[in-house]
C-alpha cells in the first residue's frame, strides 16, 4: 500500500472562511483531535499575523502532539530585505516548529502586478527565504501559490520558481490551485511537468471554487503527489479548501493508498462533527461519507433492497467511516421500513403482527394530521414504544402552563414569560417560571427548570434547531403548523415533532418529546450497558 502525507490547514486556511473563527482553546482541542485521528501535519497558524497564533505555538509545544508535526505558516521575505532581517521569517523561526511552510509567487502575473518586482528578483526571494529557514527547521515546505494558473500562463517561469525552491533545499513543494479554477486534467499536467523538473517530493493544495477541489487533489495524487493539503469539512476562504473528510476515504478505500489506520478511519464522522461543533457551523446533512443522509434510504424499494444486501444502494460500508445506514419513515414507507426501524431501536415487531398493523394505522393517521417523522426520529421511537407497550414513555405529568408575551411600548422589545406546573413520578408538584427570548424559548426554559430538579441530566440537552412550517395554507394565520426541533447532548442529536393550529402547543409537543426522549434513551442506554456487563460476567 502506498503511503500519503496528510496536511491539515483547518486552523489557518480554514479559519479564513466566512463565519469561522477559533479561539485559542478551540485550536488546541482541534490539534489534539487531528493528532489522534492520524493527520501527519497540522498547520497551526500564521505566527507573524496575530498574537493568538503566537500564543498557540507556545501552548502547543507544551501539549506535545503524539504523532502530528506542527507547521507554522508564513510568506517569503519581502523584496529588498535580507531573509534574516525579515520580520515575518523571524516570527516563523521563533515559533520553533519542526516544520515551516512558506508561500511564494509562481505566476508571473502576480510577480509583475502584485509584487511589482522583476521575475528574477522573485526567484531570489524564494531561494533566500527557503535557504534561511532551512537552517532553523527540520522541514521547509514551499507552497507554490497559483502554480497551476502560472503553469497554464507561462509554464517555463512557474517551473523555474519550483526549481528555485528545490535548489534552496525545500523538503517538499506543494503545488497550489489558489483560485480554485483549475480542472483535473490541468492539475494532472502541472504535476507531471513539476515531477519532470525537480527531484523534490510534491504535494497539492486545492480550493473549491469549481467544486473540484477533491477531484483535483485525487488527480494530483494519481500523478505522483505524496502529500495532500486540505481542511476538515472543506472549510476555507471563499468556497473552501479541499475537503480531507472526502479525500481520505476516497484514497484509502477506493485507491488503496494508506492515509490513516482502519480504526482511525472509523472516527471520520466524529472528527467532522467535532470541527463543525467548534466552528459553530451546522453540519451538512448531505455531506459525502459522513453526512446524516449519506446512507439514508427513503423509497420503499430501496429499503427492501438494502435489507437484502446493502451493496445494492451503498457504495461503501458506512461503518468504515463511522457512519451508519438509516431508513427514513415517511408516507412512502411500507412494512419493511417499519420492521427495519423497530430492529434498529431494539423493538421486537417481527413477532408482533398486530403491533405492526397498529403502528402503520397510527402513522397514517398522524401523517394525515400533518405529522412528519423524517427528521423527527426520536418522536417516532416514542410512538413505537407507545404502540408496543400500550402507553407512551412518560417522566412527568403536565398540570398546566401559561405563556405571556407582552409588549408595552412600540419601541420596546417584547417580554416573554412562561409558568409551568407539573407532577413528578413521586407525586411532587413543581411550579416554575422563566423569561425567554420569545414565548417558546420561555416555555423551554420553564420546562427545563422544573425537570432539572428530578432529572439533572436535562441540563445536557441543547436546542440546535427550531423550525416552523405552515401546512395547507388556506387559513392564513389560523392554519395548522408543524414544529420540528433538533436537540442534542454530547453523544447524540435527535429530532422531534409537534403539530397544532397553535404554534405554542405544537412547540410544546416537540419540546416534551425531546425531553422525554433524552430521559428515555439515557435509561435505555444504561440498561443496555448493564446487560452487556452481565453477559461478560
Ligand atoms: Zn489556500
- 178 alpha carbon to ligand 1 midpoint, in Å? 6
Residue for grid cell 477533491: 214
Q: How far apart are CA 22 and CA 45, in angstroms?
A: 11
272 contacts 284 by C-beta, under 8 angstroms: no
Q: How far apart are CA 342 and CA 344, in angstroms?
A: 5
Q: pTM of the prediction?
A: 0.76
- 416 alpha carbon to ligand 1 midpoint, in Å? 46
| pLDDT string in tens for the chain (537-residue length) | 568 999 999 999 999 999 899 999 899 999 999 999 999 999 999 998 888 899 999 999 998 899 999 999 999 999 999 999 999 999 999 999 999 999 999 999 999 999 999 999 999 999 999 999 999 999 999 999 999 999 999 999 999 999 999 999 999 999 999 999 999 999 999 999 999 999 999 999 999 999 999 999 999 999 999 999 999 999 999 999 999 999 999 999 999 999 999 999 999 999 999 999 888 888 899 999 999 899 999 887 888 899 899 999 999 999 999 999 988 876 556 677 778 777 777 777 777 778 888 888 888 888 888 888 877 889 988 998 888 887 877 899 999 999 999 998 999 889 999 999 999 888 999 999 999 999 999 999 999 999 999 999 999 999 888 888 888 756 677 788 999 999 999 888 899 999 999 999 999 999 999 999 999 988 876 544 433 333 333
- 207 alpha carbon to ligand 1 midpoint, in Å? 6
104 contacts 78 by C-beta, under 8 angstroms: no
Of 90, 47, 46, 100, give the one whose Cα is nearest residue 69. Answer: 100
Q: What does the DSSP 8-state code read for residue 395?
A: S
- 530 alpha carbon to ligand 1 midpoint, in Å? 49
User: Which segments of 342-461 are extended strands (E)?
Assistant: 397-406, 415-423, 429-436
- 206 alpha carbon to ligand 1 midpoint, in Å? 7
Whole-angstrom CA distances from 186 to 2, 147, 196, 217 are: 24, 11, 16, 12
At 499, is the secondary structure helix, strand, or coil?
strand
Residue for grid cell 507554522: 72
- 343 alpha carbon to ligand 1 midpoint, in Å? 46
- 264 alpha carbon to ligand 1 midpoint, in Å? 26
Whole-angstrom CA distances from 479 to 137, 472, 475 are: 67, 7, 5
Beta bridge partners of residue 241, listed in sequence order: 207
- 236 alpha carbon to ligand 1 midpoint, in Å? 7
Q: How far apart are CA 249 and CA 266, in angstroms?
A: 10
Q: How far apart are CA 113 and CA 254, in angstroms?
A: 42
- 249 alpha carbon to ligand 1 midpoint, in Å? 21
How many Cα neighbours within 13 Å face the side chain of 333?
Answer: 24
Of 498, 497, 492, give the one whose Cα is nearest residue 461. Answer: 492
Amino acid at each position: 500500500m502506498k503511503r500519503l502525507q496528510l496536511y491539515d490547514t483547518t486552523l489557518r486556511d480554514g479559519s479564513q472562511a466566512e463565519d469561522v473563527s477559533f479561539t485559542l482553546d478551540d485550536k488546541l482541542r482541534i490539534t489534539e483531535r487531528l493528532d489522534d485521528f492520524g493527520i501527519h501535519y497540522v498547520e497551526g497558524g500564521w505566527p507573524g499575523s496575530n498574537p493568538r497564533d503566537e500564543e498557540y505555538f507556545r501552548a502547543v509545544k507544551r501539549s506535545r502532539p503524539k504523532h502530528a508535526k506542527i507547521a507554522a505558516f508564513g510568506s517569503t521575505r519581502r523584496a529588498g530585505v535580507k531573509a534574516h532581517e525579515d520580520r515575518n521569517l523571524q516570527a516563523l523561526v521563533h515559533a520553533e516548529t519542526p516544520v515551516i511552510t512558506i508561500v511564494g509567487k509562481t505566476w508571473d502575473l502576480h510577480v509583475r502586478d502584485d509584487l511589482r518586482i522583476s521575475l528574477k528578483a522573485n526567484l531570489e526571494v524564494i531561494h533566500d527565504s527557503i535557504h534561511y529557514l532551512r537552517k532553523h527547521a527540520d522541514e521547509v515546505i514551499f507552497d507554490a501559490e497559483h502554480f497551476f494558473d502560472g503553469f497554464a500562463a507561462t509554464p517555463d517561469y512557474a517551473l523555474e520558481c519550483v526549481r528555485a525552491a528545490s535548489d534552496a533545499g525545500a523538503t517538499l513543494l506543494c503545488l497550489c490551485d489558489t483560485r480554485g479554477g483549475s480542472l483535473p486534467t490541468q492539475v494532472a499536467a502541472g504535476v507531471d511537468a513539476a515531477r519532470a523538473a525537480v527531484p523534490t517530493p510534491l504535494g497539492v493544495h486545492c480550493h473549491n471554487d469549481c467544486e473540484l477541489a477533491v477531484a483535483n487533489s485525487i488527480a494530483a495524487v494519481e500523478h505522483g503527489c505524496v502529500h495532500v493539503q486540505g481542511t476538515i469539512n472543506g472549510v476555507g476562504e471563499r468556497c473552501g479548501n479541499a475537503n480531507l473528510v472526502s479525500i481520505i476515504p476516497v484514497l484509502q478505500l477506493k485507491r488503496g493508498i494508506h492515509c490513516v489506520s482502519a480504526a482511525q478511519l472509523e472516527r471520520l464522522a466524529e472528527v467532522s462533527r467535532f470541527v463543525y461543533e467548534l466552528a459553530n457551523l451546522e453540519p451538512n446533512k448531505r455531506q459525502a461519507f459522513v453526512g446524516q443522509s449519506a446512507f439514508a434510504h427513503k423509497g420503499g424499494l430501496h429499503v427492501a433492497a438494502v435489507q437484502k444486501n446493502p451493496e445494492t444502494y451503498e457504495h461503501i460500508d458506512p461503518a468504515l467511516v463511522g457512519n451508519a445506514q438509516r431508513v427514513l419513515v415517511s408516507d412512502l414507507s411500507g412494512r419493511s421500513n417499519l420492521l427495519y426501524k423497530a430492529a434498529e431501536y431494539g423493538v421486537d415487531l417481527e413477532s408482533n403482527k398486530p403491533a405492526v398493523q397498529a403502528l402503520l394505522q397510527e402513522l397514517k393517521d398522524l401523517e394525515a394530521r400533518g405529522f412528519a417523522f423524517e427528521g423527527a426520529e426520536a418522536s417516532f421511537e416514542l410512538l413505537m414504544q407507545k404502540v408496543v407497550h400500550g402507553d407512551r414513555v412518560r417522566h412527568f405529568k403536565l398540570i398546566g402552563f401559561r405563556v405571556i408575551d407582552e409588549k408595552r411600548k412600540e419601541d420596546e422589545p417584547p417580554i416573554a414569560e412562561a409558568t409551568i406546573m407539573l407532577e413528578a413520578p413521586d407525586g411532587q408538584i413543581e411550579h416554575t417560571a422563566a423569561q425567554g427570548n420569545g414565548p417558546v424559548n420561555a416555555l423551554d426554559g420553564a420546562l427545563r427548570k422544573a425537570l432539572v430538579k428530578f432529572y439533572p441530566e436535562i441540563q445536557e440537552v441543547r436546542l440546535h434547531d427550531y423550525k416552523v412550517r405552515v401546512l395547507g395554507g388556506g387559513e392564513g394565520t389560523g392554519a395548522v403548523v408543524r414544529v420540528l426541533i433538533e436537540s442534542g447532548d454530547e453523544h447524540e442529536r435527535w429530532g422531534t415533532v409537534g403539530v397544532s393550529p397553535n404554534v405554542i402547543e405544537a412547540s410544546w409537543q416537540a419540546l416534551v418529546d425531546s425531553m422525554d426522549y433524552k430521559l428515555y434513551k439515557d435509561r435505555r442506554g444504561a440498561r443496555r450497558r448493564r446487560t452487556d456487563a452481565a453477559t461478560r460476567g
